[in-house]
DNA sequence: TCTTCTTTTGTAAGATTTTAACATGATTTT
DNA sequence: AAAATCATGTTAAAATCTTACAAAAGAAGA
């Protein structure tokens, strides 16, 4: 009842960006302004909105506003990435352990992941901070030198973590893909890390928005047939899709 | 003149995340509140800040850690911590390597640290994200299980990092201090990590705001005489100060 | 330098929004 | 069913913000 209303307010704010108390009052004529205020206060505590004079605004809205969260990367193809992340989040079962990489898409995945009992390993600082908000998620960060452009860590030393850990699933993303060159990224240590991940994980899901297709980055870390599931957006070319499905790779 | 002040406000907000008008008034005592309001209005128009009730907050701040309650973050003893962090930041020389812990004060240190060529090791995720903004700072994060309440990592595995690394200086903070029980914190693994740090670092600076004095936490990781410099605020009791200076520990 | 125009700043009243405190009704627990 | 907890409504008081106007400070041109 209360929670329903609070959720509705949150959704409204995500859609509209910003609302005044008066507007909210119009949406919820059967409750008092004070109640709405209290709802907003609660959402603020949860970090989902920001109260401003006269009403409140969605955090998501602010994040989209002119600027770069970490790199200029995040600004582009945001909506696709969020959709992909939502798909991926639905594939994570409770009581599993999984690896998540440090990319932008992975950060959205971290946001979309429900607060369920899973153990996540990641080399992404932004991913870690998002996941740290969730009470039921166990979280381990791989240490190492920090790559400043994407806020991920990578270092040979990370291997020592992997020696004693296991995970069923790895959900990763790539900076570039072509059928010939496979999935590639810009950093060698990162590529090494992801290769190692491939060996450790029982299955591997790849998040790839269609803007990455046709691009080539210096270091290939996986080939087409190395993955089990490809999570992408609606602009993914049909003829490419066949190449995956022919190898029993699920494309979604 | 006006532009200078406006820029200064913007920078302040980027550092502090959020400021009330009163706090701004303290920073700019020679101009009226109305002028500051107008400055904030202008910055809002430029999309660089968001005005909230009582003051304003930096857009960058919102974009950074979106899941975190903004109100909580700027909670207790902020001003003291920032002053301590500023003192500490001045003590860091170029071309050194240092360890910084994962506490709140350490995060302010990270913000205040000039963009100079140093190598920083940290177990704090928030610290890491702040430092990643600085082009000249080399950064290594210690991996491990993430303690969600203070966004720091700690794990026995972190030892493997320490084996191959050296740093001249460790700047750390404690959750509690009494002369009898020394410096203590709430987590055992964290205490272990800090003990190890003590051995690795040539010298150790302790940041301790006076509110921590007289408190005791479960795990002691350093005694009074283990440190070289104590960085604290103006409320630090004079008689305690003597205990440090008698042992040639600099109190500042 | 003086005058004029524009910009910046200060003041204070008035409007708006928020908080705090208490009372009431609903829901859950024991 | 009583007690305890939670959600809600009402109101007055507090805090914050805006508006409007006037003074001061700069800038530009004669």
Query: How confident is the model over A222-244, as pLDDT tens digits?
Result: 999 999 999 999 989 998 999 99
CATH number for the domain spanning B58: value is 1.10.10.10
Residue A63 has pLDDT above 60, yes or no: yes
Domains contained in chain B, number: 2
B237 touches strand D (CB under 7 A): no
Q: What is the pLDDT of residue A65?
A: 47
- How far A17 CA sits from the closest chain B CA (Å)? 13
Phi-psi region of A54 (alpha: psi -120 to 50; beta: other; left: phi over 0): left
Query: Are residues B102 and B66 part of one domain?
Result: no
- Domain end, chosen from A14, A38, A64, is at A64
Q: Does A108 or A163 have the greater pLDDT score?
A: A108
What residues of chain A lie within 8 A of the CB of B57, using their CB?
A: 50
Work out whether the CA dihedral B6, B8, B11, B16 comes out positive or negative. Answer: negative
- Domain end, chosen from A64, A80, A108, is at A64
Query: Are residues A82 and A34 part of one domain?
Result: no
Query: Are residues B34 and B109 part of one domain?
Result: no
C-alpha–C-alpha distance, residues B167 and B244, integer Å: 24
A181 CB neighbour count, 10 Å cutoff: 14
**Residue A60 belongs to what H/E stretch?**
helix A59-64
Measured CA A227 to C1' D12 distance, in angstroms: 65
Interface of A with B in 10-39 (CB under 8 A): none
Q: What is the pLDDT of residue A8?
A: 87
Q: What is the pLDDT of residues B194-228, one digit of tens each?
A: 998 998 899 999 999 998 999 999 999 999 999 99
- Closest to B140 in 3D by CA, of A210, A142, A225, A112: A142
Per the CB < 8 Å rule, is A144 touching B141? yes
Backbone phi, psi, residue A104, to 5°: -65, -45
C-alpha–C-alpha distance, residues A18 and B165, integer Å: 49
Binned at pLDDT 50, 70 and 90, residue A28 comes out as confident
Q: Which of residues 21-40 of A touch strand D (CB under 7 A)?
A: 30-35, 38-39
Per the CB < 8 Å rule, is B140 touching A144? yes
Nucleotide nearest to A51 (CA to C1'): C18
Query: Are residues A52 and A133 part of one domain?
Result: no
Query: Are residues B84 and B42 part of one domain?
Result: no
CATH number for the domain spanning B234: value is 3.40.50.1360
- Domain end, chosen from A64, A84, A114, is at A64
Query: Are residues B143 and B26 part of one domain?
Result: no
Residue A74 has pLDDT above 80, yes or no: no
Query: Are residues B219 and B108 part of one domain?
Result: yes
Longest dimension (CA), chain B: 56
Residue range(s) defining the domain that contains residue B118: 78-251
8 A C-beta contact, residue A120 and residue A138: yes
Work out whether the CA dihedral B77, B79, B81, B83 comes out positive or negative. Answer: negative
C-alpha–C-alpha distance, residues B225 and B242, integer Å: 13
Backbone phi, psi, residue B33, to 5°: -60, -40
Query: Are residues B198 and B99 part of one domain?
Result: yes
Work out whether the CA dihedral B205, B209, B210, B214 comes out positive or negative. Answer: negative
**Which of B69, B139, B148 is closest, CB to CB, to A47?**
B69
Q: Does A57 or B113 have the greater pLDDT score?
A: B113
Alpha helices in chain B (DSSP H): 2-16, 21-27, 33-45, 59-64, 70-73, 78-90, 104-112, 125-131, 159-163, 188-200, 238-245
Q: Which of residues 14-53 of B touch strand D (CB under 7 A)?
A: 20-22, 34, 37, 41, 51-53
Mean pLDDT, chain A, rounded, equals: 85
Q: What is the pLDDT of residue A125?
A: 92
Q: What is the pLDDT of residue B157?
A: 66
Q: What is the pLDDT of residues B224-241, one digit of tens each?
A: 999 999 999 999 999 999
A72 CB neighbour count, 10 Å cutoff: 10
Residue that has been written with the tokens 């990781």 in this structure = B221
C-alpha–C-alpha distance, residues A78 and A91, integer Å: 20
Query: Are residues A81 and A59 part of one domain?
Result: no
Measured in whole angstroms, how far is the alpha carbon of residue B243 from the centre of its chain? Answer: 25
Q: Does A160 or A187 have the greater pLDDT score?
A: A187
Q: What is the pLDDT of residue B133?
A: 85
Query: Are residues B168 and B92 part of one domain?
Result: yes
Predicted TM-score of the model (pTM): 0.78
Q: What is the pLDDT of residue B73?
A: 44
8 A C-beta contact, residue B180 and residue B147: no
Q: What is the pLDDT of residue B180?
A: 93
Backbone phi, psi, residue B147, to 5°: -85, 115
Nucleotide nearest to B21 (CA to C1'): D16
Q: State which residue of chain A sits closest to B49, comparing Cα positions.
A: A62
Q: What is the pLDDT of residue B70?
A: 42
C-alpha–C-alpha distance, residues A100 and A112, integer Å: 13
Mean pLDDT in residue range A64-91: 66
8 A C-beta contact, residue A161 and residue B143: yes
- How far A142 CA sits from the closest chain B CA (Å)? 5
8 A C-beta contact, residue A196 and residue A159: yes
Per the CB < 8 Å rule, is A50 touching B52? yes
List of chain B residues with pLDDT < 70: 61-77, 157-161
- How far A48 CA sits from the closest chain B CA (Å)? 7
Pairing of strands B152-154, B144-147: antiparallel
Query: Are residues A105 and A151 part of one domain?
Result: yes
Query: Are residues B245 and B186 part of one domain?
Result: yes
Q: State which residue of chain B sits closest to A125, comparing Cα positions.
A: B125
What one-character-per-residue DSSP string does A131-192 give? HTT-TTEEEEE--EEEETTTTEEE-GGGHHHHHT--EEEEEEE-SEEETTTEEEES-HHHHH
């Amino acid at each position: 009842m209360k929670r329903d209303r609070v959720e509705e307010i949150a959704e409204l704010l995500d859609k509209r960006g910003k609302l005044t108390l008066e507007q909210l009052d119009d949406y919820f004529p059967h409750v008092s302004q004070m109640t709405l205020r209290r709802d907003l206060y609660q959402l603020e505590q949860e970090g989902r909105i920001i109260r401003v004079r006269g009403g409140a605004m969605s955090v998501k809205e602010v994040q989209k506003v002119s600027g770069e969260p970490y790199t200029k990367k995040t600004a582009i193809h945001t909506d696709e990435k969020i959709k992909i992340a939502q798909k991926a989040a639905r594939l994570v079962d409770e009581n599993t352990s999984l690896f998540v990489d440090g990319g932008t898409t992975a950060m959205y995945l971290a946001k979309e992941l429900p607060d369920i009992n899973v153990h996540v390993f990641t080399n992404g600082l932004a991913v870690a901070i998002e996941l740290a908000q969730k009470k039921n998620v166990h979280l381990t960060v791989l240490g190492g030198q920090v790559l400043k452009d994407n806020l991920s860590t990578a270092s040979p030393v990370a291997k020592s973590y992997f020696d004693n850990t296991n995970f069923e699933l790895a959900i990763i993303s790539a900076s570039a893909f072509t059928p010939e060159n496979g999935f590639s990224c810009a950093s060698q240590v990162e590529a090494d890390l992801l290769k190692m991940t491939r060996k450790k994980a029982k299955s591997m899901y790849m998040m790839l928005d269609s803007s990455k297709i046709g691009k080539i980055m210096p270091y290939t870390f996986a080939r087409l047939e190395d993955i089990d599931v490809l999570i992408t957006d609606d602009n993914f070319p049909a003829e490419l899709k066949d190449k995956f499905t022919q190898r029993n790779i699920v494309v979604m």
